[in-house]
Amino acid sequence: MKYNRNKRILCYCEMDSLTGFGHYSRIQILLDIIKFRNIDVITSNFNYGKKFFKKYKVIKNKNLFVFLKKNISKYDYLIMDPPYYPNKSIEYKKFSEKFKSIFSNPKKTFKTIWLTDETYPSPKYCDLLINDYPEANKFKNFYKKHYKKIKLITGIYAFLFQKEILKKKYKKNRKKHILIAFGGDDPKSLVKKYFSFFYKLNFKKVFITNKKTFKILKKFHGRNNVIIQKKEPKEKFLDILSKSIFYISTPSNIMFEAWSLGISGNVIPIQSRQQRMGKVFEKLNIVNLLPFYKKLTMKKLQLKTQISFYNKRKKFMFDRKSAIATQKKILDFFGGRV
């Protein structure tokens, strides 16, 4: 079935050192899936948004709800991936409730797609909700209670995997190193905090750091099989990840991406939400979940970090067909494939 790719789409997303880059990435992957032409992106981080969304018009977000009210009949679709800040679940719930007035406005012309990875459900007023928390299937009744007509794509395969992964671009990459990279801008400076332990690991080691940590650790580049580098664009990061024997990170998007590439990891949570996500992935035998960062001493890190990842329990394996089926469902929502 063909569909009209000229319809107008507005995307709302944010990024900063706390939320990381996952919201921008998810929006970009979704836009790559649906292949629409007329895209506007509204975000507070205007300068970075312009760099990231080069092909689209980027709008400075002064007040999202005021903008939506003024443009209530301008767009055909609204795609939202609002930030979820640590310890601010009440504000996140308020955001959802506030959006209800926009969603129920009779002048509204757009259908709403909402992306989230929330581990506790909050009310969602949208036409399609995509929640990639692996146990989000348990939330279906809650979501439908608030809006009966809502369409749901939930669970681990609701994650939007890059086309390079689904096309097996990295399948033949040889394993060369371990990757050490903490989500977003490494807001808790874990690379620097535990560097003395990581440095001694008997592997080639690739560290991806924030700017401050890079300045401090760049003198170690080239020593003891150490590579120190700044953040890479997503495609280059995936290439580095695909060549990893294992990784050490936070329980973030990297768990999904590495799982799809058959790579296990040690994860250190810095948020309670990450801890819940990490526990689910550990139950599936995909990662080794370490203690919350505030309780993780150097001694515990040495004792609990698994190097070989040998485990008698069967690992939950990635099914490429299920991931592709999810993306087809999304295309169907937008009216079919070109």
Domains of the chain, by residue range, sit at: 8-160, 165-304
- For residues 136 and 155, give the distance between their C-alpha atoms in angstroms, rounded to a whole number: 5
Which CATH number fits the domain 165-304, given the four candidates 3.40.50.2000, 2.60.40.10, 3.40.228.10, 3.40.640.10? 3.40.50.2000
Q: Residue 166: left (phi > 0), alpha (psi -120 to 50), or beta?
A: alpha
- For residues 152 and 202, give the distance between their C-alpha atoms in angstroms, rounded to a whole number: 45
Same fold for the pair 8-160 and 165-304: yes
Terminal CA-to-CA distance of the chain, rounded, Å? Answer: 7
**Residue indicated by tokens 């990490």:** 278
Tokens of 306: 């698994």
* C-beta separation of 178 from 228 below 8 A: no
What is residue 96's predicted lDDT score, i.e. its pLDDT?
A: 87
Residues in the chain predicted with pLDDT less than 50, given as ranges, are 338
- For residues 133 and 148, give the distance between their C-alpha atoms in angstroms, rounded to a whole number: 21
Report domain 8-160's class: alpha beta
Q: CB neighbours (10 Å) of residue 257?
A: 22
* C-beta separation of 290 from 304 below 8 A: yes
What is residue 338's predicted lDDT score, i.e. its pLDDT?
A: 39
What is residue 20's predicted lDDT score, i.e. its pLDDT?
A: 66
Q: What angle do CA 52, 54, 57 make, to 5 degrees?
A: 110
Measure Cα distances from 229 to 29, 212, 245 in Å.
25, 12, 18
- Tabulate helix, strand, coil % of the chain (nearest 5): 40, 20, 40
What is residue 70's predicted lDDT score, i.e. its pLDDT?
A: 96
Task: Specify which residues 12 forms β-bridges with.
Answer: 42, 80
- For residues 336 and 123, give the distance between their C-alpha atoms in angstroms, rounded to a whole number: 28
* C-beta separation of 17 from 270 below 8 A: no
Q: Residue 204: left (phi > 0), alpha (psi -120 to 50), or beta?
A: beta
* C-beta separation of 160 from 117 below 8 A: no
- For residues 257 and 111, give the distance between their C-alpha atoms in angstroms, rounded to a whole number: 29
Strands (E), the chain: 8-13, 38-43, 57-60, 77-81, 111-116, 128-131, 151-154, 177-181, 205-209, 226-230, 244-249, 265-267, 287-289
pTM for this structure?
0.92
User: Radius of gyration (Cα) for the chain, nearest Å?
Assistant: 20
Quick one: how many helices (H) and strands (E) in the chain?
A: 14, 13
Measure Cα distances from 112 to 27, 35, 63, 126 in Å.
13, 17, 18, 5
What is residue 236's predicted lDDT score, i.e. its pLDDT?
A: 87
**Helices 22-34 + 320-333 axis angle, to 10:** 70
